[in-house]
Structure 1
Amino acid sequence: MLLVMDIGNTNIVAGVYDGKKLLSHWRLASDRDKSADEFAMIILNLFQYKGLSPKDIDAIAISSVVPPMMNAIEEMCHKYFNVKPLIVGPGIKTGMNIRYENPKEVGADRIVNAVAAYEIYGGPIIVVDFGTATTFCAISDKGEYLGGCIAPGIAISTEALYQRAAKLPKVELVKPPQVICKNTVNSIQAGIIYGYVGQVDYIVRRMKKELGREDAKVIATGGLAHMIAEESETIQETNPLLTLEGLRIIYERNL
């Protein structure tokens, strides 16, 4: 079986595959201070709940945008699974031509998403990932990674508003029914959520124009993708497991 892990600034998303079948998946909080043993106890408890054993795992594939966590994660892989993980980065076969000025600058999560999106849906395609940052990536009809843009994530914007505006409260990310709101909490929620919908739709339309392909598919992924996709005019489908699928595909290409 294959254990896949996508390590982000806010969450770690992990899953276990038996061949192409995803048996189970989890979302954990990222913690740069946790040791290899602490990470292992969390993972092994989740395994036990699902009737899995570390002995079932014969391969591990990882993408990460948090270098300080990698020593602990790699140690966990060796110590508790007796496996050397495949880590997405320079020298790893992705099957995708990265047309970026410096390919090493592209986050591993963006490449993994792009590989999965092209494999599953074909191209041209635009992937919007709602994570700590909101990333937009364009993939050509030939399967080339063309680039994209990065915006502050929804949670970052919410936290910044709370910290920098003395009289504004911290709010839950819930979608209010209108934008002409009658209280401060709903006003903030509407501004953040519907404001992000507008941002996403504008950037996607501009990317389609630059691609010269109005027919480009638009796929969303990430923890808050569903909330924005419900209101977006450009997002066609959400796939919360896109990154895990990409890790499985890249692992298979490197066998």
Structure 2
Amino acid sequence: MMLLFDLGNSRAKWATWSAGSYAQTGSVDPCGPGWELQLQQQLHGIAAPERVLVASVGSLQVLTAVHDMTSSRWDQEPIQLEPEAMRCGVRSAYAEPAQMGVDRWLAMLAAWNRFQSPVCVFDIGTAVTADVVAADGRHLGGLIAPGIALSQSMLQTKTAGIRHANPEAGVTLGQSTGACVANGCLLSVAGMLRMALELMERQCGPGGVPVATGGDAERVLPFLPDSCAHIPSLVFDGMLLAARDK
């Protein structure tokens, strides 16, 4: 059995991998009070893993806490995965591959290896990323923007008189400032992702596969093509691929 940790900015997720499937999963808010105790409680009763894999774009404090927890509980030194110039057939477009968020990198590895065709990988969470990988595994580049909640928060913080509101049913033209902001932030994300698909088609031709993951993916999926594959485990899938020969 392997224990996997995907440590993000707003969620610290974990999963166990055994006999070809994810046996147990959980998550905590690493910014919330008592998150370490919550994580320990979720992991209670889990047998000692053969390997512990960690992918982190969160704070060093959270990474250190998870490292200490696994080391003390199971005497298991975690393997920390990092972005690379090339892995599993995918070649990074970055001149300095280490500057890419490891979650983006792992999601690309998983998506391209799964479909073996041009893919546009959407990770829709605190930030929203879109990355295009060509049929031959070349990462052609990507886009990054604030996520839905972060965009709303920025407007509420920097602009007077704007209150939080959820998108109205059907995401139509808002009839209050809060609804206008909520609908606009959601549709701005959807618009960026649809533009990323156009860029993929320009460079790769038709037939590319859009792939979505991340905590807010379900909110955006209605505005994406029906062909968009929703794979919540995409980063975990990439971790398993990247760790095969480590």
Using the TM superposition, name which of 116-125 and 139-148 deviates more: 139-148
TM-score normalized with structure 1 length: 0.86
Secondary structure at 1:244 match in 2: helix
Q: What does 1:164-243 correspond to in 2, within 5 Å?
A: 164-172=158-166, 174-209=167-202, 211-233=203-225, 236-243=228-235
CA contact (8 A) 1:112 1:250 kept: yes
Secondary structure at 1:26 match in 2: strand
Unaligned runs of 5+ in 2: none
Q: What does 1:1-255 correspond to in 2, within 5 Å?
A: 1-31=1-31, 39=36, 41-48=37-44, 52-53=45-46, 55-68=47-60, 69-89=62-82, 94-95=87-88, 96-172=90-166, 174-209=167-202, 211-233=203-225, 236-254=228-246
In 2, the alpha carbon distance for the partners of 1:207 and 1:11 equals: 29
Unaligned runs of 5+ in 1: none
In 2, the alpha carbon distance for the partners of 1:90 and 1:130 equals: 19
TM-score normalized with structure 2 length: 0.89
In 2, the alpha carbon distance for the partners of 1:212 and 1:241 equals: 26
Secondary structure at 2:223 match in 1: coil
How many angstroms does 1:251 deviate by?
A: 2.1
CA contact (8 A) 1:16 1:22 kept: yes
CA contact (8 A) 1:220 1:235 kept: no
In 2, the alpha carbon distance for the partners of 1:249 and 1:149 equals: 24
In 2, the alpha carbon distance for the partners of 1:85 and 1:33 equals: 24
CA contact (8 A) 2:130 2:144 kept: yes
Deviations 1:8-34 (A, max 9, x none): 111112111103210121222123997
In 1, the alpha carbon distance for the partners of 2:172 and 2:242 equals: 43
Distance 1:147 1:119, change over 3 A: same
Secondary structure at 1:230 match in 2: helix
Secondary structure at 1:30 match in 2: coil
